[in-house]
């Protein structure tokens, strides 16, 4: 939480971890049954459905995955290479002391309810994060001292101190721009400046977006997008094979790729993502308060075996909360080599040669598959892991993420740069290290070189403390109709960006 911030939500785990996309495509390919010629529609399969449509009051990656960029836009966004680029702000300048940002907003932008988007709306949206949001991500706006409209098209944001993270955070959900008069029914009626509007949402089945008239930018070629939700990965694969969907956003059972080996019918895309699959430890729950116990658990895990068994070898071993796409990435996967004998010695030294722990996981395929391997490996060192599978998102978010009622869990954190969550003692892993908070502050306020150096220290510190165990980094693994091109190889943001998708003319 993560495919996620300051008290980042996680979770993402959420979700299905998805692609951030810019797609272009063609028509006319057939699957196991004839596909219709649909040059103006697109259907995409997902494994995790939003719990509501209000990401200001509900954690979880599924909401911004569907709505960010498509329905809600920010002043800035990430491009396909992870660079911050203009969106609703055509340009901006930063003061010499790095505390004041002046944004020049684009003219002619309107919300989907017809109201003009102005600097007053932008100031309202930024200030409202601190006063009206209730989710874990709201802390990302704490560094803001004031946001005010200097004119209808000029926004001035003053920070309490220089911050390297703040503008990047503005590319995430906390940077979404809201209408001052359109926030009363966010859970069911989103009002944004994006090219799509919500047409309808059938809970448990599908969420349909339609292109809106009067969009300020380039209108999307795909006029209707259906986000189909599947709890069963087999059902999603069947839908792909029979033409029910055009894209599997995230393959939930890599061994099933054999079903899609016919390259005349399917295209498989594999890249990297932000989605760290984490074996979470509750650092405030005895005996996990003992660093030796946490380290013992980490030595007991053969992460390569977990990756090979649970995810058919697709993914990357990383060793900390930093994916290779971050500037401060270091491969720390060798910090805790698989060493059952050392795990047993540490457990004995800590006074826990035999131990029973609750492993409470979401009912997501990668988590369930990984948990079985972890359970078996821990049993070899005298640790009995009692697996408790919780419905996701609602039950897992309530029990594990909100109440921290767990010993261990497994979840994919998809939010970008979510290593900052280890600076928040209230985050669900309850890790409390003043030195990490100090390093994060130094990284945020320092020069770019200082930021990289300090963030690497943060990663080494949390890994050395065995604050969690990073099993592997989920790949961005998709299956698409071969007519669909331009899907991103790597996931770089929270959004499943549909705005550039099109079916190429036959």
pLDDT, position 154 = 98
Q: Is 51 helix (H, G, I), strand (E, B) or coil?
A: coil
- Is residue 26 pLDDT above 60, yes or no? no
Q: What is the rounded distance in angstroms from the CA atom of residue 430 to the CA atom of residue 424?
A: 8
Lowest average pLDDT, out of 29-38, 169-178, 232-241, 464-473, goes to 29-38
Handedness of CA 435, 440, 444, 450 (dihedral sign): positive
| Domain residue ranges in the chain | 272-475
Mean pLDDT, residues 93-118: 97
pLDDT band at 14 (very low <50, low <70, confident <90, very high): very low
pLDDT in tens, 244-262: 999 999 898 898 999 999 9
Average pLDDT, rounded, for the chain: 90
- Is residue 208 pLDDT above 90, yes or no? yes
pLDDT in tens, 327-378: 999 999 999 999 999 999 999 999 999 999 999 999 998 999 999 999 999 9
pLDDT, position 414 = 87
Q: What is the rounded distance in angstroms from the CA atom of residue 194 to the CA atom of residue 279?
A: 36
Superfamily of domain 272-475: Dipeptide-binding Protein; Domain 3 (3.10.105.10)
Orientation angle between helical segments 365-379 and 303-311, nearest 10 degrees: 140
CB neighbours of residue 1 within 10 Å? 30
Phi first, then psi, for residue 457 (nearest 5°) are -65, -40
* Nearest-10 Cα torsion for 313, 316, 317, 319: -150
pLDDT, position 506 = 52
């Amino acid at each position: 939480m993560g495919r996620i911030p300051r008290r980042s939500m996680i979770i993402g785990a959420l979700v299905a971890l998805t692609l951030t996309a810019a797609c272009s495509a063609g028509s006319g390919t057939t699957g196991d049954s004839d596909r219709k010629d649909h040059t103006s529609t697109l259907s995409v399969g997902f494994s995790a459905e939003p719990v509501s449509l209000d990401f200001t009051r509900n954690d979880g990656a599924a909401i911004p995955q569907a709505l960010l960029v498509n329905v809600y836009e920010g002043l800035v966004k990430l491009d396909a290479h992870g660079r911050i680029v203009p969106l609703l702000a055509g340009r901006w300048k930063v003061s010499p002391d790095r505390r004041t940002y002046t944004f020049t907003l684009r003219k002619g932008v309107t919300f989907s309810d017809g109201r003009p988007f102005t600097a007053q709306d932008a100031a309202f949206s930024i200030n409202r994060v601190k006063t009206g949001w209730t989710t874990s991500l709201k802390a990302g706006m704490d560094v803001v001292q004031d946001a005010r409209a200097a004119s209808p098209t000029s926004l001035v944001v003053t920070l309490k101190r220089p911050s390297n993270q703040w503008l990047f955070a503005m590319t995430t959900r906390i940077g979404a721009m809201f209408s001052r008069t359109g926030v009363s029914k966010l859970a069911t009626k989103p009002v944004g400046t994006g090219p799509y509007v919500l047409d309808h949402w059938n809970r448990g089945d599908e969420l349909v977006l339609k292109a809106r008239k009067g969009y300020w930018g380039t209108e999307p070629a795909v006029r209707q997008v259906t986000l189909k939700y599947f709890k069963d990965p087999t059902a999603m694969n069947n839908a792909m094979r029979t033409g029910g969907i055009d894209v599997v956003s995230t393959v939930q059972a890599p061994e099933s790729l054999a079903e899609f080996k016919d390259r005349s019918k399917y295209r498989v895309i594999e890249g990297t993502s932000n989605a760290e699959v984490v074996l979470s430890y509750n650092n405030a729950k005895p005996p996990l308060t003992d660093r030796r116990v946490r380290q013992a658990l980490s030595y007991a895990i053969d992460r390569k075996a977990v990756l090979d068994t649970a995810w058919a070898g697709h993914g990357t071993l990383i060793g900390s909360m930093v994916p290779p796409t971050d500037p401060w990435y270091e491969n720390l996967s060798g910090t805790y080599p698989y060493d059952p004998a050392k795990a047993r010695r540490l457990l004995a030294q800590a006074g826990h040669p035999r131990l029973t722990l609750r492993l409470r996981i979401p009912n997501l395929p990668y988590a369930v598959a990984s948990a079985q391997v972890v359970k078996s490996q821990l049993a070899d060192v005298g640790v009995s892991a009692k697996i408790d599978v919780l419905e996701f998102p609602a039950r897992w978010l309530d029990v594990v993420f909100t109440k921290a009622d767990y010993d261990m869990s497994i979840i994919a954190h998809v939010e970008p740069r979510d290593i900052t969550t280890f600076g928040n003692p209230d985050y669900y892993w309850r890790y409390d290290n003043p030195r990490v908070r100090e390093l994060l502050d130094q990284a945020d306020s320092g020069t770019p070189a200082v930021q990289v150096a300090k963030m690497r220290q943060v990663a080494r510190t949390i890994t050395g403390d065995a604050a969690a165990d990073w099993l592997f980094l989920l790949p961005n693994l998709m299956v698409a109709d071969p007519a669909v091109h331009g899907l991103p190889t790597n996931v770089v943001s929270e959004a499943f960006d549909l705005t550039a998708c099109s079916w190429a003319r036959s």
